[in-house]
Structure 1
């Protein structure tokens, strides 16, 4: 594997750009390839086997383009597919749940941690299992917030209706006396200020993107795969639908122009193949 090969990341849509942003900050010398499955977003209410199939298809797409490390920048896909993709590829594959869990453990002072995520992520109990593996003494409470992803994907973050939805869905967990809340979906940091308003300033919000990028940096360093070249980076973003919306939100979030290409999921046979349009 060449050290100047790109890092691959994927998510069900635009949420994984929160991880991209942190990779840009911590690893500015690296080139990235990103896939947002905007056609089939959200993943949070889908069947587990369907999510595994989607994750495998996209993982193959990125690995076949020569990435040196794969980041599952999606909590739902991490919860269902991480171990499968780690066994499938001979490159390092990391998710966002372990880094987020470690960050929450280190930040919590009262040892009471909340987790919000999609239905699949919450049902998997992946965060609670990982937190208790690292520190069994922590109290962990989880809450599914399935409407948050559509709010972000449809660029409705600032609407009053969306703010009411956030307040409604956080009503239960806000009574749990937690001091730390894991944003257990990479879309949720885009709603951070709305969530913080509901939870109050005493609750620390954990965005796993920072720890995930740090883990990627450590792995690349250990394997002598850090890119030390100073050549111009050609970051590529692939989506399965809604190019203009993805580009608009992505450029606003990342503060730079994005090279976005549409990928046609044109073959219904299994496993699916991809065609860049």
Structure 2
């Protein structure tokens, strides 16, 4: 049965633990400019990277439930950590297409590497899950070197994308990738495209940078087109941003990083917010 007009014109749901998924949402808006987008950022419980996988799964499903209840026609898990933790559960739980960030980026990296040496920079949880190693296992002759870069998320969440401290940390994190002779590097966290400048500077212009954000956006385009789910409304698109933490802070930092892509955000309550320590 063909989708109804209301289903076709329903928004795309994008979920991330914080700001990083905005890089995916912006790329989706570029390739699907007429689609409405609803974004949920779990900023009150971010970052997910250092958390146990079981806790990430719980938090992610609570946020994805919120998006599904909002009536989205597709879910984009715009968080590598959450993709590694919850993808199987999400595909069993929801009746809408699920797009994630790991496999599209891995496929792209395998296609463009010249020497078969692929680097991955990601959060600790994504590194521990070995999600990229698993995704690239089907590509013969491709070796993977992974480096966890937890402070990159902290920089982005603070709106810091340049300066001597960021450069020093980048050089340290990228040493194993350089030592392995990787000619291709997956930005395996959707925060990292916002640090593309410093990462490219350290790695050099001969290294391919593969953004999990842009590959996820291309996958979203492909899935919606293949399933006949693109909107019939060719007017202006709407974007709604729902945040579990401070919505004004989110909007302010987002505007500093991405210009006017985010005008305003609203605070929502999802699950139980852990009490801060210290």
In 1, distance between residues paired with 2:167 and 2:246? 24
Contact 1:44 1:118 survives alignment (8 Å): yes
Partner of 1:42: 47
Q: Which residue of 1 aligns with 2:133?
A: 128
Matched residue, 1:99: 104
Residue matched to 2:195: 191
Say whether the 8 Å CA contact 1:236–1:258 is kept in structure 2.
no
SS of equivalent residue, structure 2 residue 160? coil
The match for 1:161 among 161, 165, 187 is 165
Cα 1:213/1:110, change in 2 over 3 Å: same
Structure 1's consecutive aligned runs of 4 or more residues displaced over 6 angstroms after TM superposition are none
**Residue 250 of structure 1: how far off its partner (Å):** 2.0
CA–CA separation in structure 1 for the residues paired with 2:160 and 2:169: 11
Could you list the runs of 5+ residues in structure 1 that have no partner in the other structure?
270-277
Tell whether the 8 Å contact from 1:103 to 1:208 is kept in structure 2 after alignment. Answer: no
**1:59 aligned onto 2:33:** no
Distance 2:237 2:205 in 1: 38
The 10-residue stretch of structure 1 (177-186 or 241-250) with the greater mean CA deviation from structure 2: 241-250
SS of aligned partner of 1:116: strand
Further displaced range: 31-40 or 208-217 = 208-217
TM-score (norm 2): 0.92
Which range moves more in the overlay, 51-60 or 156-165? 156-165
SS in 2 for 1:113: strand
Q: Quick one: which of 212, 215, 225 aligns to 1:211?
A: 215
> Which residue, out of 68, 71, 93, partners 2:73?
68
**Deviates further, 107-116 or 223-232:** 223-232
RMSD: 1.6
Shift of 1:268: 6.8
Deviation readout 1:9-65 (Å, 9 max, x if unpaired)? 011100001101110110001000001111111100101110000110000000000
Q: Which residue of 2 aligns with 1:10?
A: 15
Deviation track 1:101-155 (CA, whole Å, cap 9, x = no partner) reads 011011111111000101110111111111112x131011111111110111011
Does 1:247 find its partner at 2:271? no
1:233 match: secondary structure: coil
Question: SS where residue 198 of structure 2 aligns?
Answer: helix
**What is the DSSP-based 3-state SS (H/G/I as helix, E as strand, rest coil) of the residue aligned with 1:255?**
helix
2:24 to 3, 10, 19: 19
What is the CA–CA distance in structure 2 between the aligned matches of 1:128 and 1:238, rounded to whole Å?
33
Query: Does the 8 Å CA contact 1:122/1:142 hold for their aligned counterparts?
Result: yes
Q: CA deviation at 1:267?
A: 5.1
Could you tell me how far 1:170 is from its partner in structure 2?
1.4
Q: 1:174 — aligned with what?
A: 178
Shift of 1:255: 3.2
CA-CA distance at 1:198 after TM superposition: 1.2
Q: TM-score, normalised by structure 1?
A: 0.92
Confirm or deny: 8 A CA contact 2:33 2:237 kept in the other structure.
no
115, 122, 143: which is aligned to 1:117? 122
User: Residues 116 and 213 (structure 1 numbering): CA distance in 2 closer, same or farther, change over 3 Å?
Assistant: same
More helix by share: 2
